[in-house]
Chains A and B, each alone.
Chain A
Amino acid sequence: MIPLIQKETVEKKHWISEEEIVDIIAIAESTPGPIAVNAATYIGYRVAGVLGSIFATLGLALPSFTIIFVISLFYEQFMQISAVKAIFKGLSIGVIVLIANAFFKLKKSIKLNISTAILFIVLTSYLVANYFLEITIPFFTLILILFGFIFGIVTEVLLKGKKK
């Protein structure tokens, strides 16, 4: 979707310059939330302020929303058909491959040092083991993300600052 946004806003509409779109993509990728939504919000804001950002984002969401809502209306009936069930069993395995693929793609753009590599290995082992342990902690994912923030600030800013 990003190349499409680039083509439409830079080349066709000339809302954003070539240099600025690079910054916008970088910010869209490093701020929380879906990347396409972030990019749309940012471009909307640059072109027409707060209202522009709201309209750009709603515009982006509306086609998806409509298509998926219509699909969801027929989903239950559709799933009654045994051939469809078999197809979805196959799809659910395909989804696992896609998630693994997303991991490898992300892994390529991320460089881990020794402390973050250890954190990664320990956490992954625990999360996989937890499939059998079945320990549920409410909002565990959220707690982990917050822990990541603190971990990063402590190891990258506070400890490195002291050494100098």
Chain B
Amino acid sequence: MIYLTLFYTFFLIGLFTFGGGYAMIPMISEQVTSHGWMELSELQNFIAVSEMTPGPFAINIATFVGSQTGGIFGAVCATLGVILPSIIIIIIVAMILNKFLANKFVKGALFGVRPIVLSLILSTAIVFLFKAVIPYNGGKISTFNIEAFTLFIMLVSLAFIYKCKRKKAMNPIVLLLISGLFGLIIF
């Protein structure tokens, strides 16, 4: 049953996301493709929309995936699924406050999960880039997408120059607006 699957999938995603909304992307992309709910390119569209709309990224993406997979009830299930672990865990932590983060086992576990989260996020970025630039299917690289590669280099340089000049990262929405505009010109 799609609603139950959406609920428990997003429950697991909420339960095992460490480090904020973007750390959720590797797990979401793994789950949506293994369930055959959508292509990675479509998920990337959802990520862009979720980033540009107000509200927490995690809730936006859960609602979007849920709605596209199972309509309004699917959206409700996915969104409740993603927030429920937070509610349960935070209430437990709030009841035993202070002792929780000081516990050496909790500290150790959180220390060990960091390199994993870093690795997942970086490899997701690289794999998404590969998918856009060198689509690989049936065991061979089909084409080299020079337009996508050029756009990527342009955006990275732009974000880098901005960061060096202004001493802070470019607003994600501004970056997406620029990339959308370039997309309209190039593709």
Contacts and interface: CB of A to CB of B under 8 A. Distances in A.
Interface string B41-82: 100110111110111111110011001100010011001001
Contacts of A93: 132, 148, 151-152, 155, 179, 182-183
Contacts of B182: 90, 93
A57 B55 CA distance: 12
Contacts of A116: 111-112, 114-115
B24, B25, B76, B118: most-surrounded residue (chain A CB, <10 A): B118
A23 B85 CA distance: 20
Nearest to B120: A141
Q: Is the interface of B mostly helix, strand, loop or mixed?
A: helix
B63 A69 contact: yes
A32 B93 CA distance: 11
B67 A68 contact: yes
A142 B15 CA distance: 10
A36 B24 CA distance: 14
**Band of interface residues on A:** 35 or more
B122 to A, nearest CB: 5
B176 interface: yes
Interface string B81-114: 0110111011101100110110011011111111
Given A69-B72, A127-B127, A106 B117 contact: yes
Given A93-B183, A103-B118, A106-B19, A71 B49 contact: yes
Contacts of A67: 53-55, 60
B90 to A, nearest CB: 4
A72 B122 CA distance: 28
B16 A145 contact: yes
Contact of A31 (B23, B60, B90): B90
B85 A45 contact: no
Contacts of A87: 180-181, 183-184
Contacts of A57: 83, 86-87
A31 B110 CA distance: 9
Contacts of A29: 19-20
B101 A30 contact: yes
B156 A97 contact: yes
Contact of B44 (A41, A95, A117, A150): A95
A64 B127 contact: no
B143 interface: no
Nearest to A110: B114
A53 B47 CA distance: 27
9 contacts: A65-B76, A67-B53, A89-B148, A97-B159, A101-B159, A119-B116, A131-B126, A138-B34, A157-B107
Report, nearest first, the 7 A-B pairs whose CB atoms are least far apart: A90-B183, A152-B112, A94-B179, A64-B55, A127-B123, A34-B58, A33-B86
